[in-house]
């Protein structure tokens, strides 16, 4: 990571960086005047996103990271320290916000509370963009869940604007797959932390991931086709 921050980027990293930049440009996700807040969960996606954004941004815009902790199942101190150390390496300010939701109510209330906490943090810090580490793989899993529960083949919007684009949630990794993220994690030795959520291994998204894995084993290329169909449903190219 130190070598990359010093400008010594290997071709594989450059390719993934350019792919993220293509998504940012194509969907006008981040302007030169936008402050960026990264939702840092400690998982592989958010860590890879922060690493890529730190290199891409080159200190041009304010860039921060925020971890949202649920008091019902707090993360251990060592994990939070590891995230803080990683942010310090990238010279990215790191903060923690707390929420409290009952795990017995499932994933949605917690997810909603986390988004609200990130929005509050962004407003307080003067950030106009919240960057989330969703990949094309997440897009496909979301499409599978929407098809199963609602009968619609819709994925994830690359950018969701609020208040006439004065504020937006963006997904810069939407052109990258899970395999790309694992490559970044392994090559850069990113400090991935285990989720403290007791539902992490049995969530709706975990079930969709299992379905997608089975589909890909039977029909190679299924993920790319589902992503294309989901984007068409949202009139995205």
CA 133 – CA 114 distance, rounded (Å): 14
Give me the mean pLDDT over the 113-120 stretch: 90
Quote the mean pLDDT of the chain: 90
- Domain range for 124 is 2-233
Rg (CA), the chain: 17
Residue 195 tokens read as: 């989720």
- Looking at residue 226, what is its pLDDT? 93
Tokens 């919007």 sit at which residue? 157
- Looking at residue 164, what is its pLDDT? 73
CA 30 – CA 60 distance, rounded (Å): 12
Residues of each annotated binding site: 39-41, 45, 68, 133, 138
Between 2-6, 40-44, 193-197, 216-220, the lowest mean confidence (pLDDT) is in 2-6
**Which residues have CB under 8 Å from 207's CB, separation 6+?**
none
CA 100 – CA 35 distance, rounded (Å): 27
53 and 176 Cβ atoms separated by less than 8 Å: no
Of 203, 221, 232, 193, which Cα lies nearest the Cα of 50? 193
**Which residues have CB under 8 Å from 23's CB, separation 6+?**
29, 158, 171, 172, 173, 174, 175
Domain holding 125: CATH number?
3.40.50.620
- Looking at residue 146, what is its pLDDT? 92
pLDDT in tens, 48-74: 999 999 999 998 999 999 999 988 777
Give me the mean pLDDT over the 76-81 stretch: 91
pLDDT at 237 over 80: no
122 and 91 Cβ atoms separated by less than 8 Å: no
CA 133 – CA 122 distance, rounded (Å): 16
pLDDT at 114 over 90: no
Tokens 């939070």 sit at which residue? 80
pTM here is 0.91
Residues of each annotated binding site for ATP: 39-41, 45, 68, 133, 138
CA 132 – CA 64 distance, rounded (Å): 12
pLDDT in tens, 120-161: 999 999 999 999 999 999 999 999 999 999 998 888 999 998
Residue 145 tokens read as: 């869940």
pLDDT in tens, 177-228: 999 999 999 999 999 998 877 666 667 888 999 999 999 999 999 999 999 9
Instruction: Domain count for the chain, please give it.
Output: 1
CA 36 – CA 86 distance, rounded (Å): 17
């Amino acid at each position: 990571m130190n070598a990359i921050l010093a400008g010594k980027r290997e071709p594989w990293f450059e390719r993934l960086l350019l792919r993220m930049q293509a998504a940012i440009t194509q969907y006008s996700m981040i302007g030169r005047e936008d402050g960026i807040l990264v939702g840092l969960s400690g998982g592989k996606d958010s860590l890879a996103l922060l690493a890529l954004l730190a290199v891409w941004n080159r200190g041009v815009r304010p860039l921060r990271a925020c971890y949202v902790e649920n008091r019902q199942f707090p993360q251990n101190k060592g994990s939070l320290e590891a995230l803080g150390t990683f942010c310090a390496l990238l010279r990215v300010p790191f903060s923690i916000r707390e929420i409290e939701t009952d795990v017995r109510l499932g994933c949605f209330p917690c997810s909603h509370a986390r988004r609200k906490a990130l929005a509050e943090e962004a407003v307080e810090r003067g950030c106009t963009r919240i960057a989330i580490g969703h990949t094309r793989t997440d897009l496909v899993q979301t499409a599978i869940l929407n098809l199963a529960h609602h009968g619609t083949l819709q994925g994830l919007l690359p950018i969701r604007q609020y208040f006439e684009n004065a504020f937006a949630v963006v997904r810069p990794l939407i052109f990258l797959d899970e395999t790309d993220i694992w490559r970044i994690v392994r090559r850069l030795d990113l400090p991935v932390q285990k989720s403290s959520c007791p539902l992490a291994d049995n969530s709706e998204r975990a079930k969709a991931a299992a379905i997608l894995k089975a589909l890909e084993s039977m029909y190679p290329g299924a993920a790319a086709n589902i992503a294309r169909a989901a984007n068409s449903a949202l009139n995205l190219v």
